[in-house]
Chains A and B, each alone.
Chain A
Amino acid sequence: MRDWFLRSMITVAIAAAAVSAILSVSITRTSAQAPASVKAAAPTSAPALKTPWGEPDLQGIWTDESDTPLQRSPKYANQEFFTEAQRAELDKERAALLGRDRRVERGTELDVAGAYNAQFMSVKHTGARTSLIVDPPNGRIPPLTPEAQKIAAAEREFRLALLQATETCKNKSVACNGGKYDPTPSPRRAELPPRYNTARMNRRDNPEDGALPDRCLTGGLPEFGGATGSFRRIVQTPGGIAMFYDVGQGQGWQRNIVMNGSPHLPASVRQWYGDSRGHWEGNTLVIDVTNFSPKTDYQGSRQNLHLVERWTRTGPNTLEYAVTIEDPTMWTRPWTVKQEFTKQSEQENRIYYEPRCIEGNYASPGLMRGQRMAEAAFARGQGPDPAVSDNATDFVGVEDDPLQ
């Protein structure tokens, strides 16, 4: 089953690589952001873009074929789009990095600790925008509320305490930024995290000490692709829309958009993927998503996360996706991300990407078993104290991407 897991990961990586290879010709801008002449060339009422029953047709397999950082690098300030020259330069630089593992301090444990090397990562062509975030105009996530800052600081402190006696802090790795080395393991190793854990920590006393993806519990929305990319298949019926997401590690999931105009689920019903209720506004599918579980986490936002998604078919092969992300307990203002999806070949993507993560998850029990064995060995006087080793820090992927 481990083989299957790897195979499916590799399939994703290969598919993504194939996608980026196809991409070299051009990147179409969405109508909303394109010059007027291009907009006029993409009529949104073309018959082919409607289902036989007259609703806008969003069906197919869709993905973002380019790489765009979530937040804009300060060096581009208020520049929303790259110039063609900037994109060409970035593509050249990034192509040189493609396939090279990300490295950290040479000769350290961390340098060889990456679970996923460049083999698993997809590096796609540089997108048109300097950031996925289109609002605020600086392309950055808005400042956190004081309450959210406090929570983030508590989380950070706890995680640094678990690292304090490790080589990571001793070598002043970036993973220990804000912390300091102390050869004595922190007594906080016996504490619960400040709130329900969703991210990796340097401890594996319980399954819940793992990050959600390690437990096959990847959060669902919003989904922007990440290092391995993501696909969504949309199937429509009169008055109904199903979406199946395929994301890294076989952690896919489904959404069945409720389209009957009824109110959201009761506040007591909380879900990993929230509660999606949609309606049409002209040619745009608008989906309101609430009722997230307190066990989900998007950039620190949990049960109060509120998304308003707008899906618009902009051309035969293009679909614009915009999502406004709101959580007044988390951010000082709502913010908006925009992506353009390109239609993918049915034939080349005919494999049903099964969400078979748990069926092959040897890592989660393996990490716990490893820790228990290391503890037992240490108790017998054989081997180092497991509390001074770092099993959490993982520099994945390709070398530092100049785009990010």
Chain B
Amino acid sequence: MRGRFLRSTITVAIAAAVVSAVLSVSITRTSGQAPAAVRPARVAGKPNLSGIWQANNEANWDLQAHAALPGAVTQPGIYPYDYARVPAAPVLALGAAGAVPGSLGVVQGDGQIPYTAEAFMIKKENSEHWIDRDPELKCYLPGIPRAMYMPYPFQITQGTDKIHMAYEFSNTARTIHLDKVAGPPDDAWMGHSVGHWDGDTLAVDVTNFNDRSWFDRAGNFHSDALHLVERFTLMSPDIIRYEVTIEDPKVFTRPWRIAMPLYRRVEPNMQLLEFRCNEFVEEFMYGGLRKQQLVKHWEGETMAVDITRKVPTGDRFYDWYGGK
């Protein structure tokens, strides 16, 4: 595990992921800007979920409760204990920005994900081979529910018989069909979403998934038998309670649930920008095929990075204290 982590690394991709993960919601005001259009509380009699939303939690790191970690990838330090590991090469140069924030988790009930014994081994392996396996690092489509709580905003456009959800990450989207629409003939990364209003709650049934997307960076996964029931309930004009019941008889022994608030991005100038990451990951995925490589050391498809970080005069930590 250590060797694999040491030898498979792309600082830029990891840095981007880590930086985005710790991005916090900041409120900025732009003077001289037109006021936002009035958003009615209801659309055709239903609660209006339209707007730009974002989870503000650590679920994309790991759905389950976890303590903070020194790095998104770690290696044994001087002690043999798991709790005394140190950051590994892929994130070492990033210092605390390469670490993983802790979380109380979003899995409801006992906090456990009820894997079958066989599936649990795959999850463990996934976690150990995170850099090689997580579709997020390759900028693949995130799937549902992961797209809902990645550290990027998404936009809901609520019509009367369609609700469109556009995600900043990877420029993807899904249409929730409120009218009768038969399922697609093929599976999909983002699944097939059919919704209905259960009182003031939007309930969405999602099926027709492929088996490629993950739930988080901890290697939690599913098969093509995944079936989700999502529930969106406005708790206040700017907070949605988002709950998902997750069912997949090929991977889990019983249905389980996650829940979290989604917060409105209330900045008056908020809009979705692009995060067209397939360009960003070209070096990560194909850099070894360049005629003249930018990263000097590839072993087959595995990139080996020597981290050289020369600290310029004036930036050494003790310079800040007037030391020599």
Mark each residue of chain B from 156 to 178: 1 if its CB lies under 8 Å from any CB of chain A, else 0.
01111011101000111111010
Q: Which residues of A contact B274 (CB under 8 A)?
A: 271-273
Residue of A nearest to B158 (CB): A237
A325: shortest Cβ distance to chain B, in Å? 21
Question: Chain A nearest CB: distance from B299 CB in Å?
Answer: 15
- In Å, the complex CA distance between A242 and B166 comes to 8
For B49, give the chain A residue with the smallest CB separation: A237
B292 sits at the interface (CB 8 A):
yes
- Is A233's beta carbon under 8 Å from chain B? yes
**Interface stretch of the complex, out of B38-46, B54-62, B86-94, B118-126:** B38-46
Shortest CB distance A270–B (Å) = 9
- The stretch of A28-36, A111-119, A305-313, A363-371 in contact with B is A363-371
B188→A261 contact, CB < 8 A: no
Q: Are B185 and A351 in contact (CB-based, < 8 A)? A: yes
Q: Which of B28-36, B95-103, B308-316 contacts A (4 or more CB under 8 A)?
A: B28-36
A239 with B38: CB separation less than 8 A: yes
Q: Is the CB of B291 within 8 A of A205?
A: yes
Query: Which of A52, A207, A359 is close to B44, meaning CB atoms less than 8 Å apart?
Result: A52
Give the number of chain A interface residues (Cβ < 8 Å).
Answer: 56
Q: Does B179 contact A (CB under 8 A)?
A: yes
- Beta-carbon nearest neighbor of A372 in chain B: B289
Contact of A235 among B34, B157, B182, B271 (CB under 8 A): B157
A286 to chain B, nearest CB (A): 15
**B39 in contact with A59 (CB, 8 Å):** no
In the complex, the answer to whether B44 meets A358 with C-beta atoms within 8 Å is no
The answer on a CB contact under 8 Å between B141 and A235 is: no
Task: Please tell me if the beta carbons of B171 and A260 are within 8 angstroms of each other in the complex.
Answer: no
Q: Using a CB-CB cutoff of 8 Å, which residues 277-334 of chain A contact chain B? A: none
Contact B40 A365 (CB under 8 A): no
Q: How many residues of B contact A (CB 8 A)?
A: 63
Q: Is the CB of B291 within 8 A of A359?
A: no
Residue numbers in A under 8 Å from B181 (CB-CB)? 346-347, 350
Q: How many A-B residue pairs have CB under 8 A?
A: 156
Contact A365 B285, CB 8 Å, known A354-B172, A354-B190: yes
A262 CB contacts on chain B under 8 angstroms? 30, 33-34, 268-269
Q: Is A158 an interface residue (CB 8 A)?
A: no
Q: For A107, what are the chain B residues with a Cβ–Cβ distance below 8 Å?
A: none
B52 CB, nearest partner CB in chain A, Å: 8
Query: Do the beta carbons of A365 and B286 come within 8 Å of each other?
Result: yes
Chain B residues whose CB sits within 8 angstroms of the CB of A347 once the complex forms? 181-182
Q: How far is the CA of A359 from the CA of B136 in the complex (A)?
A: 11
A375 to B292, CA, bound (A): 12
Of A74-82, A94-102, A251-259, A388-396, the one touching chain B: A251-259
B286 and A207: CB pair below 8 A?
Answer: yes
Contact at B188–A52, with CB atoms within 8 Å? no
Contact of B184 among A4, A236, A351 (CB under 8 A): A351
A171 at the A/B interface (Cβ < 8 Å)? Answer: no
A206: nearest chain-B partner, CB-CB: B290
Chain B residues whose CB sits within 8 angstroms of the CB of A4 once the complex forms: 186
B278 contacts across to A, CB distance below 8 A: 215-217, 357-358
Whether B273 and A242, one on each chain, are in contact in the complex, defined by CB atoms closer than 8 angstroms, is no
A217 to B280, CA, bound (A): 11
| Contact indicator per residue, chain A 228-243, by CB within 8 Å of chain B (1) or not (0) | 0000010111111110
- Chain A 21-55, CB within 8 Å of chain B: the 1/0 string? 00000000000000000000000000000011100
**In the complex, what residues of A have CB within 8 A of residue B141's CB?**
354-356, 359
Provide the residues of chain A in CB contact with B140, threshold 8 Å: 356, 358-359
Q: Return chain A residues, CB-CB under 8 Å to B186.
A: 4, 7, 11, 351
A187 at the interface (CB under 8 A from B): no
- In the complex, what distance in Å separates the CA atom of A216 from the CA atom of B139? 12
Q: Once the chains bind, are B40 and A238 in contact (CB under 8 Å)?
A: yes
A64 to chain B, nearest CB (A): 21
Instruction: Evaluate contact between A258 and B182: CB separation under 8 angstroms.
Output: no
Q: Is the CB of A237 within 8 A of B289?
A: no
- Interface flag for A263 (CB, 8 Å): yes
Contact pick for A350, options B155, B164, B184, B285, CB 8 Å: B184
- Give the Cβ gap from B95 to chain A, nearest Cβ, in Å: 27
Q: List 17 A-B contacts (CB under 8 A).
A: A59-B159, A205-B290, A237-B50, A237-B158, A239-B38, A240-B50, A244-B175, A253-B171, A256-B155, A265-B271, A350-B183, A352-B192, A356-B189, A359-B140, A359-B141, A365-B285, A372-B289
Given contacts A256-B155, A355-B172, 18 further A-B contacts (CB under 8 A): A217-B276, A233-B164, A233-B175, A236-B157, A237-B50, A242-B164, A242-B173, A244-B175, A254-B166, A256-B166, A256-B271, A259-B37, A351-B188, A352-B174, A354-B190, A355-B171, A371-B291, A375-B291
